[in-house]
Chains A and B, each alone.
Chain A
Amino acid sequence: MVKIFIDEKPLEVEEGITVFSAAEQAGIEIPHFCYHPAFAPEGTCRMCLIEIEGVPKLELACAEVVRDGMKVSTNNAKVVEARKGVLEFLLADHPMDCPICDQAGDCKLQDYYEQYGMLESQFSEVKEKRDKKRKIGQKLIHDQERCVLCRRCVRFTREVTKTQELGVFERGVHAEINILEDLPVDNKYSGNLAQICPVGAITDLDFRFQTRSWFLKSGDSICPLCSRGCSISVDSHRGFYRFKVPKRVYRIRSRRNDDVNGFWICDIGRYGYGYINENRLGQILSKNDRNEAINWEKALNMLSEKMKKVHPMDRTSGAVLIINPWLTNEELFLIKKFLIENQEFKNVYLIDIPDGEGDDFLITTERSPNKRGLQELGVKTKSLSSDKLPEKIKLVLAFSPPNIDAEGLASVKAVFDLAETKILFTSHENDLSNTADMVFPTAVIAEKEGSLINIDGVLQKFSPALEALGDSRPEWQILIELAKEIDTNYKYYNQFSSPEAILQEMRKEISDFGKKSD
């Protein structure tokens, strides 16, 4: 540990870290463009200049390593003047097209201009004209007029994906980020480029001109599209009073998590959010009154009656439970305690989700978020596609995952065809919802609270990033209500006020749950 002073504030910091990190730890923000914690300091934007007592020149916070007794000033007059100078240079050639720029509202150039200047432009020359919409990748547009040449994007393609599609071409004021002709950015992590761009130079075609960032509300969640479980931010629209917004979720961004995904997410996770918006089921459906809205209390009451009607003998042999690896640990635990142990469902099937192509970075071949949780809970399941079905089925409870494919649907349909009473829990409308006796709308991961265990055994908790759609509810809530309705050990289920409470109980009952790590 070394002792340093930042803006006269004494600090004890780790040896070998930079002034930038030390300031960050002390809650002092130092403006920057080229610095990014994922990369070695570049030192080219010159925005993070600071003054060190006894050093004649201003130094870079991003590159300067702390020394014992160092006295740093991050905001004295000399430093502020220097930063204004850098900003003035950057803004001189900037197109000032914030009204049509996607980055507006999230832009460092805008933020620092407000913080350091609000100055009248002294620039009376002709601005450089550059290409404003060069397509550098399937989903990426580069605006060379907005670019501040921080080279974050270049370093990303060199150091992270190692695909090296981007480089700096030309020299001096003509220097520009570009691709080699006919060799666009083509990797599975390209969306990160738009996210790490500190200004609006790289924009994402998926988000371009869709909405303004200040209409969005950002919530933390975990990506469920493979078993890596990357940390993400889900940006959903706040909504307007007078007209309907076409989409709920507008974009997914990666969120730093050093234990799982670092700073990045793959394009599958970034662009695969359509399922949160599309084909969602927002109300309870019941075969008898398809067109009539039915409330949860009544529906759960009806369901419990249907379940109670099944003779205990039949439950063991003629009742089928279908679950899926999108369910959270808490939900799987409730299914185990309530449905498998208490209600004695012995025919438990798992909907198979086909593997996808994985890589040696983040993407796993397994394309569901919680197979590991299922294993650690010790829920024994049979395969819907390969194992035999009972001959006669009295009742089937099916939990369907959002990304169920045609084969999956067909395999559940085969069970439904044999069953007398068919109950479906699903977040999405699908072919099954027409054949089921009752359909309960469920929330997706982004709308849920709970925990998942990723492929490496890391247990990750998450909270809702946005409200559940319409009448939909998370499965854990439905299961608790149902358990209480059927009146099996009311007190036990009544103690579960939240998934957190369930998790605590799980850890009591299964001592090493979520602690196995490869």
Chain B
Amino acid sequence: MEEKLLTNLFEIKDSFTIDVYLEHDGYKAVEKAFQEMNPESILAEVKNANLRGRGGAGFPAGVKWGFVPKDVDKPKYLCVNADEGEPGTIKDRYIMTHDPHLLLEGIIIASYCVGINTAYIYIRGEYENVALRLEKAIAEANAKGYLGKNILNSGFDCQIYVHRGAGAYICGEETALLESLEGKRGNPRLKPPFPALVGLFQSPTVINNIETLSNVPKIILNGADWFVQTGLPKDGGTRIFGISGMVQKPGIYEMPVGTSLKDIIFKVAGGMKDGKKLKAVIPGGMSAPILTADEVDITMDFDSLAEAKSMLGSAAIIVIDENTPILDVLKKITKFYSHESCGQCTPCRIGTNWINKTVQRIAEGQGKIEDIDNIIRLASNILGKTLCPMGDAAAMPILSIVNKFRQEIESYIGN
């Protein structure tokens, strides 16, 4: 069931070194891109592969690259989002730890395709060891001539820098990431203008997730058709699912896009821990609306989950069993979003704090029955009304939990 496309080297000793990487077709995609392809054909290949963003929003990478204007007198930048802040998500850390050169190769190809000479990897501050490993990998690639000036005599220059964040969830939001990278407070920007036109240092910028870029060398080597066949026609390739919570074997599993959620939980992850019954699943990182046990018969791709009014997000699956009070889940969620709101816009700043206070009060046994409708009303007043998508990220899980588990929450009130 597993399909090891990106994770194929993970179990090999010293897979993070350039020597092991080169032994396993490493940097062959860069060579192919320079020798057999040009920026236009690379872009076409990535577009045809329907490689959708692995960070959460699922925006097609090729289309995003295409938005960057060709002829500008400013430098263009690639920002690699390694903030990986969405609770439950651990996949990018594994890629960077075990196969950093795959990421670097993806960055070089993407940069060549869009005409970028400088790329920044914005990595969350807590990933200290990972950042050090990335820096080592960059040094290796520089020494072997895969980075720097005139890479492989192609005339193309590219340099990659690692920038460590300071631990704010909001800096995973792409425009807040840009602000933070510029040395400012990590507040999301008002869009438009979009980063493709006005991004880092006011210049055209591409922002991609680690996993997204790591797919690029595979697409270049094996072709778009192969990639689409691996996954779904409109959603190609595999996903690295990060499974956490009450399962027998939590961890990361790479499987084709469109794998059944039920199979992932009960077959791949070994089923429920201690034989408990499944209560609910958060399918795509904490901001994805919750699915009840009755709703897990679903395939894991952007469109199917959107149809079920949830989202694939970062494909981080959080499994909740019957022994876990749903109020505990809600408490964690409201506390997290209240704590991580940047405070810039009104609904998120005050709304998440208000809801959190109400939920904590319910948990302390001081709830009133009208609190439930009030939470729904407040979350609806955040949804779709904030400056950045983080308002929705807070409101969606809250709304889905309160609506789907209303009875259980009511049972905490009044006794």
Q: Using a CB–CB distance below 8 Å, which chain A residues touch chain B?
A: 41-47, 49, 57-58, 60, 63, 82, 85-86, 88-90, 92-93, 122-126, 128, 148-149, 167-168, 170-175
Contact = CB atoms under 8 A, between A and B. Distances in A.
20 contacts: A46-B347, A46-B386, A46-B387, A57-B384, A58-B384, A82-B385, A85-B381, A86-B346, A86-B347, A88-B381, A125-B358, A149-B343, A149-B344, A167-B185, A168-B343, A171-B342, A172-B339, A172-B349, A172-B352, A173-B350
A171 B354 CA distance: 15
Listed from nearest, the 8 A-B pairs whose CB atoms lie closest are: A175-B343, A85-B381, A173-B353, A125-B357, A172-B341, A43-B190, A89-B350, A44-B345
B346 A89 contact: yes
Contacts of B229: none
Given A90-B346, A172-B352, A58 B385 contact: yes
Contacts of B361: 125
Contacts of A41: 190
Interface in B320-353: 338-347, 349-353
A170 B353 CA distance: 14
Contacts of A82: 381, 385
A375 B132 CA distance: 72
A170 B358 CA distance: 22
Interface of B: 168, 170, 185, 190, 338-347, 349-354, 357-358, 361, 368, 371, 374, 377, 380-381, 384-387
Nearest to A123: B354
Contacts of A49: 385
A171 B343 contact: yes
Contacts of B349: 89, 149, 172-173, 175
Among A41, A122, A167: residue with most chain B CB under 10 A: A122
Contacts of B347: 46, 85-86, 89
A265 B340 CA distance: 39
A122 B346 contact: no
Nearest to B169: A171
A171 B350 contact: no
A506 to B, nearest CB: 51
A31 to B, nearest CB: 12
Nearest to A47: B346
Contacts of A60: 190
B381 A126 contact: no
A126 B357 contact: yes
A89 B377 CA distance: 12
Given A43-B190, A82-B385, A85-B381, A93 B350 contact: yes
A157 to B, nearest CB: 15
Nearest to A125: B357
A41 B192 CA distance: 11
Contacts, number: 96
A92 to B, nearest CB: 6
Nearest to A40: B190
A42 B344 CA distance: 10
Given A63-B190, A89-B350, A172 B381 contact: no
A171 to B, nearest CB: 5
A172 B349 CA distance: 5
A43 B386 CA distance: 9
Contact of A148 (B339, B340, B346, B385): B346
A4 to B, nearest CB: 18
Given A44-B345, A49-B385, A89-B351, 4 more contacts: A89-B347, A89-B381, A93-B353, A171-B340
Contacts of A168: 185, 343
B168 A171 contact: yes
Contacts of B352: 172-173
Specify the main secondary structure of chain A where it touches its partner. Answer: loop
A85 B377 CA distance: 9
Nearest to A167: B185
Nearest to A88: B381
B164 to A, nearest CB: 18
Contacts of A122: 374, 377
A89 B354 contact: yes
B358 to A, nearest CB: 6
Contacts of B358: 124-125
Contacts of A58: 384-385
A123 B381 CA distance: 14
A499 to B, nearest CB: 48
Given A89-B381, A122-B374, A45 B340 contact: no
Nearest to A170: B343
A49 B385 CA distance: 8
A86 B353 contact: no
Contacts of B339: 172
Contacts of A57: 384
Contact of B346 (A46, A126, A171): A46
Nearest to B355: A125
Contacts of A44: 344-346, 387
A43 B387 contact: yes
Contacts of B343: 149, 168, 170-175
Contacts of B357: 125-126
Contacts of A128: 353
Nearest to B170: A171
A149 B341 CA distance: 14
Given A92-B350, A168-B185, A172-B339, A46 B384 contact: no
A41 B190 CA distance: 8
A23 B233 CA distance: 46
Contacts of B384: 57-58
A402 to B, nearest CB: 46
A351 to B, nearest CB: 52
A110 to B, nearest CB: 17
Contacts of B340: 171-172
Contacts of B368: 124
B337 to A, nearest CB: 9
A90 B353 CA distance: 12
Contacts of B185: 167-168
Given A82-B385, A89-B381, A45 B345 contact: yes
B282 to A, nearest CB: 22
A86 B339 CA distance: 20
Contacts of B344: 44, 149, 175
A117 to B, nearest CB: 13
Among B341, B349, B361: residue with most chain A CB under 10 A: B349
Nearest to A174: B343
A124 B387 CA distance: 26
Among B339, B352, B374, B387: residue with most chain A CB under 10 A: B387
A123 B354 CA distance: 8
A170 B384 CA distance: 25
B341 A92 contact: no
A45 B354 CA distance: 17
Nearest to B354: A92
B361 to A, nearest CB: 7
A86 B387 CA distance: 13
A42 B188 CA distance: 11
A90 B347 CA distance: 8
Nearest to A87: B346
Contacts of A170: 343
Contacts of A43: 190, 345, 387
Among A90, A125, A172: residue with most chain B CB under 10 A: A172
A88 B342 CA distance: 19
Among B338, B344, B361, B381: residue with most chain A CB under 10 A: B344
B190 A125 contact: no
A93 B357 CA distance: 12
A63 B380 CA distance: 23
Contacts of A63: 190
Contacts of A88: 381
A175 B346 CA distance: 11
A85 B374 contact: no
A85 to B, nearest CB: 3
A261 B49 CA distance: 58
A149 B190 CA distance: 16
B385 A85 contact: yes
B202 to A, nearest CB: 13
